[in-house]
Structure 1
Amino acid sequence: MSALLVTAAPADHRALRLGPVTPEAYRAFLATRTGADGASFLQVPSWAQVKDGWSHRLVGWGPASGGLTGVALVLLRPFPGTRKYFAYLPEGPVADWSDPDIDGWLEPLLGHLRSSGAFAVRIGPGPDHRRWNAATVKAGTGPRRRLADVLADEVDPLGTAVAERLRARGWRRCGGDSEDGADAQPRHVFQVPLTGRTPDDLWSGLNQEWRRNVRKARKSGVEITLGSAADLPEFYRLLRVTEERDGFRLGRSLAYYERQYAVLNAEQPGRMKLYLARHEGEILAAHTMVTVGGRVWYQTGASADHRREVRPSNALQWRMLLDAHALGAAVYDLRGVPSTLDPDDRAHGLLRWKLGTGGQVVETLGEWETPMRGTTNHALYRAFQAYLARR
């Protein structure tokens, strides 16, 4: 830990050291976080190099006696014409959210960011809010229905407590309590639990359509291999095909994915992998996977418009799921899903596809914002919100 400020927790005046940390100290702390409690890939130091147009800070805190108990990758976006910044901690900070005295580290963190020129801060608290099993979601599917219409199988008491604490301290949930919110990261994700399960258990967890499609891919001769940086242009070409077919636009360039692949793997070899599905020598689908400690994510998928009947994407996901299990991951995270349960809604197709893996829809706490104290900061925050609304 280097150049740390010494402050005090307001609740019981325990000494707290908080300030900049080196990438080495930061990564060493992340290595102590295991399983489902590990850090998001959006909070590793190298992610700052992926985000063009943002500066960053690596911040850590812990007791005066030494050591770290929490860290944060803070992305900073300048407000034009000022020396003020919007501070964004994507899916962070990495901290003990079960600590009953979160003010003991959260308030000093805000004070540090305020002194660094932040006019507002957005965070993504770690605890989950609610979970729905695949069978529950399928049973709740119907015209004009949404996840909020279906009773969750599980409500996380820690997530509920953290949300109440943040509201009591003046934080605002982005997009309010609307189901889809206004978060930069997905509020609803899809996860397949892996702990305590065998490959046979995972196979049994797939629905009949998924098992049939994986078998069809095998019989058709679909081959799954790991690609390299040299294959990213083909991945990107297929991604543009996918965006056009499915009616969405991620707005990312080939250079973005090349930079992401380079910096994540420079930090930790194998952190980002590119999986390819070939049929008769042609790449028909390509998916990226990211690993941090004991957590694994399916990040971005792309596929061709032709020969879809050989089911290359199902074969890819099955291989990635098995690889995540072999790595000892607690959960395989397939990232975002929409909240619509209406089968006539175009967006529902993505949810339906992921449901076939037999996992769970997880509602995160979403993202939360607060302006820094001061008239100028509040004015800048209102202007910034207006800018985002126009976008």
Structure 2
Amino acid sequence: MTISIKEISDQAQWNNFLTAQPRGHLLQSYEWGELNRYLGGNIYRLGALQDGRLVGALQLSVAPVPLPASVPGLRLNWLYGTRGPTVEGLDSPALKALIEQAHDIARQEHAVVLRLEPNIADDDPDLHKWLATYHRLGFRSNPIAIHGRRSWVLDIRPDAEQLLANFKMTWRQNVRASERKGVVIREANSEADFDTYYDLLKITSERDDFFIHSKDYNKEILRHFASKGDAVLYLAEHEGEAIAAKMLIRFGDWCWDMFGASSNHKRNLKPTYLLQYRCILWAKQKGCSYFDFRTIPEILEPGEEMWGVYEYKKGFGGFSRLNMPTQDYVYHPLIYQAWRKMVEIRRARRHKERQKIELERAERGKQSSTTK
């Protein structure tokens, strides 16, 4: 079987292949590559072809390695495949061919490491075989992930009433109470609506201490996907005031809960519960089978970062999905080890700080519930 590798510039060809594969992912989509370009990154879309038919795909981004000021003039990069590569099966020769081409690119880009995070999770029956295959190809597992390894997923193929029935009782009550108290969910349809969404996103970022991209980048995301009906921006309003918002993206038969935001007041109206249910219904209407709530803590223990977010998502039903460890192919071991050590130190410091914040939040929640 002869496999040839070439860069793909046909958007439909690329996306049609990915959406036909069980391991295809939004973050390997053609549009997501364009979003990386928008942020100033260099992108390679490698297609593996057999008799002119696409049988494998790997979208790579190039980013600089943060080197200390003591080494001026030295520029090194790293290559990253978020949720890729995607091939038709475990035994496909396309996988080896794509990686060999990536090695050529690594030499051109002076890369320290080729880092892959394939969309292969703990619910894949061949998970261990995939890991063994990557290790035979020279990769090593890295416990530190760039893109969160664990997510919360809901199978939305049951009918709407059954999905609601599967929510935790309090979650169902909050959905109904929010609607009864006059919360209205509508689709954003103007520049002013988008500004409202982004204002809520900034409030949420400040309150919960997480990074958000610029307003223009958020607009770019919506532009790439909404033009084909694959994205929606919802606002939850009460008496004409926006108090929560969500951005959703569909790719294939999956829907991703991309960004959520809420105001600091009228939280007693529980708008996020009704909004979340409407988001699930939108995904069903679009023909999706799965709703991805996105990242939850990798270690499911109280006190971990995003523990409160996890408990919220879990109340809607669903299951935890843990992705396989990051796979690194190292070209420059000494630089790689020094960089990885620096990342580990920063990660440990951040983890300690966030753990303290999460425990304080949990304690405040307990005190609040006992005083009611």
Shorter chain as denominator, the TM-score bin is: 0.7 to 0.9
Partner residue, 1:76? 62
Q: Secondary structure at the match of 2:203?
A: helix
Instruction: Verify the 8 A CA contact 1:272 1:289 in the aligned structure 2.
Output: yes
Q: Secondary structure at the match of 2:118?
A: coil
Partner residue, 1:108? 100
Instruction: Verify the 8 A CA contact 2:185 2:234 in the aligned structure 1.
Output: yes
TM superposition shift of 1:126: 1.9
Instruction: Verify the 8 A CA contact 1:298 1:333 in the aligned structure 2.
Output: yes
Partner residue, 1:54? 41
Match of 2:83 among 81, 84, 91: 91
Q: In 1, distance between residues paired with 2:252 and 2:92?
A: 26
TM superposition shift of 1:173: 2.4
Q: Secondary structure at the match of 2:328?
A: strand
Q: Secondary structure at the match of 1:217?
A: helix
Q: Does 1:381 align with 2:336?
A: yes
Instruction: Verify the 8 A CA contact 1:60 1:71 in the aligned structure 2.
Output: yes
Name the amino acid aligned to 2:2. A
Q: In 1, distance between residues paired with 2:117 and 2:304?
A: 28
Partner residue, 1:174? 142
Name the amino acid aligned to 2:122. H
User: What CA deviation, in whole Å up to 9, does each residue of 1:141-179 have, x standing for no partner?
Assistant: xxxxxxxxxxxxxxx33112112222343322232xxxx
Q: In 1, distance between residues paired with 2:202 and 2:3?
A: 48
Instruction: Verify the 8 A CA contact 1:186 1:366 in the aligned structure 2.
Output: no
Distance 1:345 1:183, change over 3 A: closer
Partner residue, 1:315? 274
Structure 2, unaligned runs of 5 or more: 68-72, 347-372
Matches within 5 A, 1:227-246: 227-228=188-189, 230=191, 231-246=193-208
TM superposition shift of 1:94: 2.3
User: What CA deviation, in whole Å up to 9, does each residue of 1:90-128 have, x standing for no partner?
Assistant: 111222343265654344333342354252211111221
Name the amino acid aligned to 2:139. W
Structure 1, unaligned runs of 5 or more: 1-13, 131-155, 176-181
TM-score, with normalisation over the residues of structure 1? 0.78
Q: In 2, distance between residues paired with 1:329 and 1:87?
A: 31
| Count of residue correspondences | 336
Q: Secondary structure at the match of 2:146?
A: coil
Q: Does 1:203 align with 2:190?
A: no
Partner residue, 1:30? 15
Q: Does 1:165 align with 2:114?
A: no
Partner residue, 2:239? 280
Instruction: Verify the 8 A CA contact 2:3 2:94 in the aligned structure 1.
Output: no
Larger deviation, residues 323-332 vs 225-234: 225-234
Name the amino acid aligned to 1:225. R
Q: In 1, distance between residues paired with 2:304 and 2:23?
A: 34
Match of 2:178 among 217, 223, 228: 217
Instruction: Verify the 8 A CA contact 1:60 1:68 in the aligned structure 2.
Output: yes
Q: In 1, distance between residues paired with 2:328 and 2:110?
A: 12
Q: Which has the higher helix share?
A: 2
Q: In 2, distance between residues paired with 1:41 and 1:103?
A: 19
TM-score, with normalisation over the residues of structure 2? 0.82
Q: Secondary structure at the match of 1:129?
A: coil
Larger deviation, residues 296-305 vs 93-102: 93-102
How large is the RMSD of aligned CA atoms in angstroms? Answer: 2.5
Instruction: Verify the 8 A CA contact 1:224 1:316 in the aligned structure 2.
Output: yes
Distance 1:235 1:390, change over 3 A: farther
Instruction: Verify the 8 A CA contact 1:187 1:364 in the aligned structure 2.
Output: yes
Q: In 1, distance between residues paired with 2:324 and 2:264?
A: 36
- Which protein has greater RCO, CA pairs closer than 8 Å, 6+ apart? 1
Instruction: Verify the 8 A CA contact 2:14 2:30 in the aligned structure 1.
Output: no
Partner residue, 2:120? 127
Instruction: Verify the 8 A CA contact 1:235 1:302 in the aligned structure 2.
Output: yes
User: What CA deviation, in whole Å up to 9, does each residue of 1:297-331 have, x standing for no partner?
Assistant: 00111101111111111111101101111211121
How much identity, in percent, do the aligned residues show?
A: 24
Partner residue, 1:263? 224
TM superposition shift of 1:198: 1.3
Q: Secondary structure at the match of 1:128?
A: coil
Q: Secondary structure at the match of 1:215?
A: helix
TM superposition shift of 1:188: 0.5
TM superposition shift of 1:343: 4.4
Distance 1:229 1:86, change over 3 A: farther
Partner residue, 1:148? none
Matches within 5 A, 1:289-368: 289-343=248-302, 347-368=306-327
Q: Does 1:191 align with 2:134?
A: no
Q: In 2, distance between residues paired with 1:299 and 1:227?
A: 15
Distance 1:108 1:184, change over 3 A: same
Distance 1:126 1:245, change over 3 A: same
Instruction: Verify the 8 A CA contact 1:48 1:73 in the aligned structure 2.
Output: yes
Partner residue, 2:360? none
User: What CA deviation, in whole Å up to 9, does each residue of 1:23-68 have, x standing for no partner?
Assistant: x2x43242244477263221122223323131111110122x2111
